[in-house]
Structure 1
C-alpha cells in the first residue's frame, strides 16, 4: 500500500523582502478573516489582497490551517512586543494582566478570533503544522521573562505550558461565549495565582 505523503512544511523567509511578503500575507489574511470568517477566506483572495503570487503564498503557508496558525502567533507577538512590563511590580500579577490583556485584544475581532481558534483545533488534530514546545513560543518566552526566569529548568517550562493551556482554554470559552470576558478575567487571575504559587 502506498504511503500518504507528509504535508509540506512552510518555507522560512530569510531576506527582508521575504519577511515583508510574509507580513503582508498575515495582515491580508487577518483583515479578510475579520470581515468574512474562516470559511469565507479563500487562499487566492489572500494572495491578491497581499499582492503576492498564489505560489508565494503556498510556499510560506501550504494550507489555510498553516496560515491561520501563523496569524495567531503573529498577533500574539505583535501584542507582546508593544506590551509594557511593570518594573518592580508583582510578577504573578503581571503575568495575569498580560494574559488578560492579550485575551481582550484577540477577542476584539470575533470572526478573526474564531478563525485562529478553529485553525488551532485543526492543527492539534494533526492535519498540518509541525508541533513545537509551546513553552519555547514567543508567549512562553515572554511569560518566563515576566517571572524573572533567565535559565529555565524543566519545571519552569512545565509551569509555562500549564499557564498557556489554561489561558487558551479560557480564550476559547470566551470566544464561543460559554463564559463572559469578566469571568475569564477572574478565572485567569485565580489560575495564575494557583499555578504560580511556587514563584510567590
Structure 2
C-alpha cells in the first residue's frame, strides 16, 4: 500500500535577500491570480514570473493553496501597513464604527480584483481542509492585532476579535459570490461590529 506523501513545511526567509525573493513570489502569484484565476495558474508559471527556481517556490510555499492563502495574508498586511496604526481603544469615540469601516475598506480592496479574490477564498477553504497544517491563531495575525488594538485589552477582547474576523470573512465570501450585495454586506458588517464590540 502506498504511503501518503509527507507534508512539507514552509521555510521562513532568514535573510533580507530571501525575504525579497518571497515577496517577489507573492507578487507574481497575485498578478497571475488576478489575471487568470486560480485554476489557470500553475506553480511553474509563478516561479517563472518571479524569476526563481521551482524548488525555491516550493521551499516557501509547499502547495498552490498555501501560496494563495499567503497572498491573502500579504494583501491584508499591505492594506494595514498602508494605514497608520490608528488610535488605541481609549482614544476612539466609536470602536464599532472604526472596526466596521476598516473591514469594509479591506473587503473593497480585495473585491477590487475578483479573480484574485476568488483565488484566495478558494485556497483558504482548500488549505484549511488539507493536510498542510496552518495551526494559526487568527488573533496573532496582523488583522487580528489591529482589531485587538482597537478593542483594547479587555478580558473578552480576543474572543471578540475572533468573532469579528470570522464574521468579516463570511460576509466577504458572500459578497464575492454575490449571495449578498456589497451594500448589504457593508450594512451587515456595521451591525456585526456593533453587536460584537458591545460591552
> TM class, shorter-chain normalised?
over 0.9
Separation in structure 2 between the aligned mates of residue 167 and residue 130 of structure 1, nearest angstrom: 20
Quote the residue 2:192 is aligned against.
191
Q: 8 Å contact 1:29–1:71 — kept in the other structure?
A: yes
**1:5 to partner: Cα distance:** 4.0
Paired residues for 1:111-150 under 5 Å:
111-149=115-153
User: What is the aligned partner in structure 1 of residue 102 from structure 2?
Assistant: 98
Q: State the alpha-carbon separation in 2 of the partners of residues 28 and 6 from structure 1.
A: 27
- For structure 2, the 5+ residue unaligned runs are none
Compute the TM-score of the two structures, normalised by the length of structure 2.
0.93
> 2: distance between equivalents of 1:61 and 1:122?
14
Task: Give the TM-score normalised by structure 1.
Answer: 0.92
Distance 2:28 2:5 in 1: 29
Unaligned runs of 5+ in 1: none
CA contact (8 A) 2:128 2:134 kept: no
CA root-mean-square deviation: 1.5
Paired residues of 1:86 and 1:94 also in contact (CA < 8 A): no
1:133 offset after TM fit, Å?
A: 1.1
Please give the secondary structure, in 2, of the residue aligned with 1:31.
helix
The question of 1:52 aligning with 2:52 is answered yes
The corresponding residue for 1:82 is 82
Equivalent residue for 1:107? 111
Tell me if 1:25 matches 2:25. Answer: yes
- Counterparts of 1:141 and 1:54, CA distance in 2: 33
Q: How many residues align?
A: 195
